[in-house]
Amino acid sequence: MTTTTATILDGNSIAAQIRAEVAEQVRLLSASGRRPGLAVIIAGDHPASEIYVRNKIRACQEVGIHSEKIAPPASVTTAELLATVAELNRRDDIDGILVQLPLPPQVDAQQVLLAVAPEKDVDGFHPVNMGNLITRRPTLVPCTPAGIMEILLRSHIPIASRRAVVVGRSLVVGKPMALLLLNHDATVTICHSKTRDLAEICRQADILVSAIGQPGLITDKFIKPGATVIDVGMNRVTDKQVFRQLFAGDAVREKAFQEKGFTLVGDVHPRVNEMAGALTPVPGGVGPLTIAMLMENTVKAHRLRLNANRGGMR
């Protein structure tokens, strides 16, 4: 039997295309008026959050977006953060507001997130933006699902009339991903931790998106031959036994694992590469698109505000 391998959908390459397009849009907007602006709020001592925010600020600098990092102390109160958000909502030079989670435990994170003006909600989590997505109105879409759609569209993966399965029902990925696929005329099934016969349902998918956060859960038994598989998972594996189950015989991975003491793996088992038609790698698949789409959303928010009196974005 001949063994074939999946086409690798290169997220780094697609993200670079989007960043270049955003940079050109920012250049034109700056020449005709002012450049888009993004404010990022980060509170507390979370090293991972600091890395994420630093990467977002760097991306803004690369594409020409004005950026501000607002870092109140870990002792900040809900009232103080609400006042900060209110001030940013009023500022004309700020088009996007991003609240980096987690916030300190004494802060009501949901109250703070809901205080962000929908037209400046570049994360796309506000109920108004979710409602716009459901009703197919121009809106700000959560960055990771938006990035996945760019991968599918720019890779010329057929969506209309195809069967799509989304594993995971979070507001960050699962639910908006299902809506985007539905809006592109796919027939969509959402699966979750209570779904029966998960593998059987996944095997029906022409497009399978996994965002459940369990390393190697999606094996070749879950895959329809030739399906497009989008792996949103980013799991840190440190257990040697789990590593061997996933990467037995991979000398390159083994050496890196021994040197670092960990490896990154998605929700999709490496063997799926022999069954799928197309596959996003981890790392280098979906991840790079998230920040690229944050930049895109900031420009989109800028246009939304410019065109507010003309019925929406252009």
Query: pLDDT confidence of 211, banded at 50, 70, 90?
Result: very high
Fold exhibited by the domain 32-122: Rossmann fold (3.40.50)
> Which pTM does this prediction carry?
0.93
What average pLDDT is seen over the chain? 94
Query: pLDDT confidence of 310, banded at 50, 70, 90?
Result: low
Percentages helix, strand, coil for the chain (3-state, rounded to 5) are 45, 15, 40
CB atoms within 10 A of CB 153: 12
Domain limits, the chain? 32-122, 141-289
Q: Say if 32-122 and 141-289 have the same CATH topology.
A: yes
129 alpha carbon, distance to own chain's centre: 16
Residue 2 has pLDDT above 50, yes or no: no
Q: Which residues are identified as catalytic?
A: 56, 100, 123
Interatomic CA distance for residues 59 and 53, integer angstroms: 10
Assigned superfamily of 141-289? NAD(P)-binding Rossmann-like Domain (3.40.50.720)
Interatomic CA distance for residues 183 and 168, integer angstroms: 18
253 CB burial (10 A radius; 0-12, 13-18, 19+): middle
**Sequence-ordered strand ranges (E) for 256-303:** 263-265, 278-279
pLDDT (tens digit per residue) in 271-306: 999 999 999 999 999 999 999 999 999 999 999 888
Which has the closest alpha carbon to 1: 238, 286, 225, 295? 225
CB atoms within 10 A of CB 185: 11
pLDDT (tens digit per residue) in 26-59: 999 999 889 999 999 999 988 989 999 999 999 9
Residue 312 has pLDDT above 70, yes or no: no
